[in-house]
Structure 1
């Protein structure tokens, strides 16, 4: 299948083309505002499907709304008709097509033009009135407030929240691509004359700002956002895509002494925390037990032994561990336990605890194994 994508360098276009290539489509005709005009004639002769994504969002002159959103649509349809090409056409419109403003009017004009073309030429058309889109490769101060918030917060720049109670309807780019691939196979989600992306999310503007700020703060408090929330998961991926290229890394606080070090890596309110423990040769750490807290130990470098003893018994249980055989050791409550480095190099252990450390209630009691 030969696919024409107008607006190929835009936010949706870049993501769509990448996904089409991932899906095995090889003949993709990319058309953008800097593409030579004669290419449009060539592409409209050959294409089997058209993703018409090109449009104008923020022109300097409001008159350019109609020129970009209606005028170019007319030019595209005339070329298809001239070349007797009845390829299905997918148009990205906007929920603002229902509003009485220059942008909305231009989008509605483009829709009406496409509907008329479909009737007159017996062509299948899919018109999507999209809400606020977000995701990687979107432009700050252009495509969406999500992009602007992510870009600015990642760089400690000011953001503007005029009314925190305003509710937004957001749609993630990957969900858009999933729906567009269905339309490509003539299986779009439809409601009357219009198509729609089934998965959207609602959030208030103030909550959106606070959520993205929490992503920034997670480097300090190490708290990973709640990935069970699908919107939070998608927003976090989007935020990371806006990190400055010189700011992908961040330092962790290492608690160092003569025995080695202990460093917290990440925390979650729901599923505890992950840390890394480094023990020097001959060092034993631990010798404590817990009422309820439980842990998992995984030695990834070096070799050692993990010992357990029920606090009211004398029997000692030993598990020998090393980098040669990665295995997780569960640390049950009610057993005092320790870990000793038996090798001649530092032993590195990844540790998970089922709850965040609470200095007011540490649930940790010293007792030699």
Structure 2
């Protein structure tokens, strides 16, 4: 299928083209403001679907709104008509098309052009009035407050909020791309004459900024945001895409002694804590038990034995573990336990606990196995 994408180097265009390729759509005609106009003549001869994403939203003067959002659309439609091409046309408009301002009027004019062209020429018209968008590859300090906040906070730059209570309606780029590909396959989500992305989020500027600052702080706290909340999950992915190239990594505090080391990796309030334990050859760690706290041990390198004893029993239970055969060992409450390195190299164990360590309530009691 031959697909024409105008605005191919823009935020939506880059994300859309990447996913089209992932799904096996390889005949993609890419057109942007720097493409030779003569190519558009060729593309409109045999394209079978048009994603018209090109537009103007930050011009030098107001006249450019109409020229970019109406004028270029007119050129595109004229070429399709010239070549008697009746391919479906998907155009990205804006919720601002309802407003009486230069940008809104230009987007409304573009919508009307496509609707009228569809009626007169027989092309299927698919018009999306999009809200504010966010996601990877969006240009910061341009026309997306989310991109600006993510970029500035990730790069230790200040942000400006005039009114933290202003609520934005936001759609995530992956949801937009999913919807557009649905439209390509004839399954667009219609609401009256217009189409819309099924998922959107209403969030205040203050909450957006607070979340992004918490993402930055999460490195220091070794925490993970609440991934059960869809918006937080998507905003966190967006924030990470704006990290400076020299700041992808961050150090962890290793607690080192002659036995090896213990390092906290991830701490969450609702999903517990993950740590990395390294034991030297011949070393035994543990010899304690818990009332309620429970753990999971996974040896990923080396070999050893995990021993258990119910605190009111003399019976010792042993589980031999090795990085050659990955298996998880549950550490039940009420059993004192230890782990011994039986090999001649360091033994590395991933340890999960059902709660972050609390020095005020450690729920950990020394008792030899």
Q: What is the deviation of 1:346?
A: 0.9
1:327 maps to 327
What are the ranges of 5 or more consecutive residues in structure 2 without an aligned counterpart?
A: none
Q: Tell me by how many angstroms 1:77 deviates.
A: 0.6
Rounded Cα–Cα distance in structure 2 between residues aligned with 1:359 and 1:203? 36
> Which residue is equivalent to 2:161?
161
Counterpart residue number, 1:267? 267
1:172 deviates by 0.5
Matching residue of 1:255 = 255
User: Offset at 1:112?
Assistant: 1.0
User: What's the CA shift for 1:61?
Assistant: 1.3
In the alignment, what sits opposite 1:149? 149
Quote the Cα distance in structure 1 between the aligned partners of 2:13 and 2:291: 56
Indicate the residue corresponding to 1:184 in structure 2. Answer: 184
Unaligned runs of 5+ in 1: none
**1:193 equivalenced with 2:193 (yes/no):** yes
Structure 1 counterpart of 2:51: 51
Q: How far apart are residue 338 of structure 1 and its match?
A: 0.5
Q: Residue by residue, what CA displacement relative to the aligned partner does 1:144-194 show, whole Å, maximum 9, x if unpaired? A: 111111101101100111111111111011111111111112221111110
User: Partners of 2:180 and 2:4 in 1: how far apart?
Assistant: 13
Tell me, what secondary structure is at the counterpart of 2:161? coil
Equivalents in 1 of 2:233, 2:318: separation in Å? Answer: 40
**Does the CA-based 8 Å contact 1:138-1:147 persist in structure 2?**
yes
Please give the alpha-carbon distance, in whole angstroms, between the structure 1 residues aligned to 2:156 and 2:296: 37
Alignment of 1:84-163 (within 5 A): 84-163=84-163
Shift of 1:301: 0.8
CA contact (8 A) 2:58 2:143 kept: no
| Aligned residue number for residue 311 of structure 2 | 311
Deviation at 1:143, TM superposition (A): 3.9
TM-score, normalised on structure 2? Answer: 0.99
Distance (whole Å) between structure 2 residues aligned to residue 162 and residue 272 of structure 1: 38
Instruction: Provide the rounded CA distance (Å) in 2 between the counterparts of 1:235 and 1:143.
Output: 17
Q: Distance in 1 between matches of 2:112 and 2:266?
A: 52
| d(CA) in 2 for partners of 1:62, 1:295 | 63
Shift of 1:4: 0.3
Aligned counterpart, 1:360? 360
For residues 8-50 of structure 1, give each alpha carbon's deviation from its aligned partner in whole angstroms, at most 9, with x where no partner exists: 0000000111111111111110000000010010000010110
The reply to whether residue 222 of structure 1 matches residue 222 of structure 2 is yes
Distance 2:99 2:257 in 1: 65
Q: Distance in 2 between matches of 1:257 and 1:162?
A: 51
What RMSD in Å do the two structures reach over aligned CA positions?
Answer: 0.8
Give the aligned partner of residue 348 of structure 2.
Answer: 348
1:309 Cα shift?
0.3
Tell me how far apart the structure 1 counterparts of residues 195 and 219 of structure 2 sit (CA, whole Å).
40
| Length, aligned pairs only | 369
Partner residue, 1:62: 62
* TM-score in terms of structure 1 length: 0.99
The whole-number CA distance in structure 2 between the counterparts of 1:124 and 1:238 is 33
Q: C-alpha distance in 1, partners of 2:346/2:16? A: 48
Does the CA contact (< 8 Å) of 1:264 and 1:275 recur in 2? yes
C-alpha deviations, 1:289-313, integer Å up to 9, x for none?
0000000001111111110000011
DSSP-derived class of the 1:137 partner: coil
Contact 2:29 2:43 in 1 (8 A): yes
Contact 1:57 1:142 in 2 (8 A): no
1:316-347 per-residue CA deviation (whole Å, 9 max, x = no partner) reads: 11111111111110000000000111111111
Give the distance between the partners of 1:323 and 1:25, measured in 2 at CA.
42
**1:336/1:368 contact within 8 Å kept:** yes
3-state DSSP of counterpart to 1:242: coil
